[in-house]
């Protein structure tokens, strides 16, 4: 097997080639070694636009949400000027966590010594500092983090020099809006969480190809016309779209006009899947959250026209929960066990010229982004 120098020319990744038809997959150790996982936290999640929530949780001034990005605790808050800002969620006095979860506050108050901050990050009060010589409030403002929105979803980036999400994501938002023009009016209707025994990249790999669909997802193949299913790779995202076979599929039944028969899904680097299923207007978030070298948390958020899903929508949620997700979890966990086998190290991508539903070129595209990030920011 040839060793091919990876995209930036720094670290050879055994067998990886920029040409998907010549390339091997990532070596098995990249899916379980703690050193690789630690490397990824800085190289990938420390420099990428990471999903943290929806603007529906940040409607009014003072509304805030918190999230963990890599090993960093981040808060996002809407200011009195209606602008969103993000900060490291840590008090500048003695490093206590400022806030937890989500909520609304006129000022941010540290629960340790009651230092308070304005929503724009400026230190408001520091008890006892009035008697300190040369105490400068400007020294103790919250440290900012970059924040952007796309299609009403909120993202942060710990890298102050990274290109903007808008620049990197190109036509992604317009693609999503094409499949769900009602997206601005959707609200959170359901959240479901699953902890699985598998590396986050293993989970993303599975999402990115439908080569396994005819084998493992018979109901999905009855819902979506596989002859229409195509995967197209862009800069930091890939599109996986098709049309519904019929409204009375084995997966679930739905009503609606011709547009309701569209199926769209996208992977936004590094670990966010966005889906529009056939039926009434909907956008689903599928977040592949790494919580350890071999553990991933799947967080599903269902956005619909009402926070009370219709019976038809409940049936679609049931299908995703009880059938599709159960099938995929079993696949990912079996692969994770197999990655430890002494009888396996790497496979080859199955890629066809037509980039049909059987082609794994989108998995190769994702592996290329992994390789590029790891090379750009050091090595294991």
337 and 222 share a domain?
yes
Instruction: Output the average pLDDT for the chain.
Output: 95
139 and 272 share a domain?
no
306 and 222 share a domain?
yes
Residue 3 pLDDT greater than 90, yes or no: no
Owning domain of residue 78: 50-161
Residue 192 pLDDT greater than 80, yes or no: yes
Check residue 258 and report its DSSP letter. G
Domain closes at, from 116, 143, 161: 161
241 and 325 share a domain?
yes
Beta bridge partners of 12: 5
286 and 307 share a domain?
yes
**Reduced 3-state DSSP string for 78-141:** ECCCCCEEEEECCCCCCCCCCCCCEEECCCEECCCCCCEECCCCCEEECCCHHHCCCCCHHHHC
**pTM of the entire structure?**
0.94
At 256-309, the pLDDT tens digits run 887 899 999 999 999 999 999 999 999 999 999 999 999 999 999 999 999 999
211 and 352 share a domain?
yes
CATH number at residue 333: 3.90.380.10
368 and 245 share a domain?
yes
Mean pLDDT of all residues in 15-35: 97
Residue 379 pLDDT greater than 60, yes or no: no
Residue 60 pLDDT greater than 70, yes or no: yes
Domain closes at, from 161, 192, 224: 161
Mean pLDDT of all residues in 36-62: 97
318 and 270 share a domain?
yes
- Which secondary structure element, helix H or strand E, spans residue 378, and what is its range? none
Q: How confident is the model at residue 354 (pLDDT cuts 50, 70, 90)?
A: confident
pLDDT score recorded for residue 344: 98
Whether residue 243 is contained in a domain is answered as yes
71 and 153 share a domain?
yes
270 and 364 share a domain?
yes
Please tell me the distance from the alpha carbon of residue 9 to that of residue 92, in angstroms, as a whole number.
40
């Amino acid at each position: 097997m040839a060793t091919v120098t990876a995209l930036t020319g720094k670290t050879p990744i055994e067998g990886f080639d920029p040409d998907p038809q010549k390339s091997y997959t990532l070596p098995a150790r990249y899916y379980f070694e703690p050193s690789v996982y630690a490397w990824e936290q800085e190289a990938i999640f420390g420099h990428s636009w990471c999903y943290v929530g929806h603007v529906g949780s940040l409607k009014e001034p003072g509304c805030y949400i918190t999230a963990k990005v890599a090993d960093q605790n981040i808060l996002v808050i809407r200011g009195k000027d209606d602008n969103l800002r993000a900060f490291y969620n840590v008090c500048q006095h003695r490093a206590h966590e400022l806030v937890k979860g989500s909520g609304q506050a006129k000022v941010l108050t540290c629960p340790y010594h009651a230092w308070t901050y304005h929503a724009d990050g400026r230190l408001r009060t520091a008890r006892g500092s009035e008697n300190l010589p040369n105490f400068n409030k400007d020294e103790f403002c919250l440290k900012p983090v970059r924040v952007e929105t796309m299609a009403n979803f909120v993202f942060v980036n710990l890298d102050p020099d990274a290109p903007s999400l808008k620049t990197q994501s190109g036509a992604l938002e317009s693609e999503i809006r094409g499949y769900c023009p009602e997206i601005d009016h959707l609200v959170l209707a359901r959240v479901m969480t699953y902890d699985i025994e598998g590396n986050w990249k293993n989970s993303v790999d599975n999402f990115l190809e439908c080569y396994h669909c005819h084998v493992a997802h018979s109901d999905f193949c009855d819902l979506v016309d596989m002859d229409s299913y195509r995967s197209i790779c862009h800069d930091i995202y890939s599109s996986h779209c098709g049309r519904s076979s019929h409204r009375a599929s084995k997966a679930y039944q739905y009503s609606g006009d011709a547009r309701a028969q569209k199926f769209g899904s996208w992977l936004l680097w590094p670990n966010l899947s966005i889906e529009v299923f056939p039926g009434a207007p909907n956008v689903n978030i599928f977040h592949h959250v790494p919580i350890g070298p071999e553990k991933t948390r799947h967080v599903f958020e269902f956005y619909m026209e009402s926070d009370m899903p219709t019976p038809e929508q409940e049936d679609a949620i049931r299908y995703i929960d009880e059938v599709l997700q159960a099938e995929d979890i079993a696949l990912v966990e079996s692969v994770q066990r197999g990655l430890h086998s002494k009888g396996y190290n790497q496979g080859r991508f199955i890629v066809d010229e037509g980039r049909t539903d059987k082609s794994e070129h989108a998995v190769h595209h994702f592996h290329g982004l992994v390789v590029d990030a790891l090379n750009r920011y050091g090595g294991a």
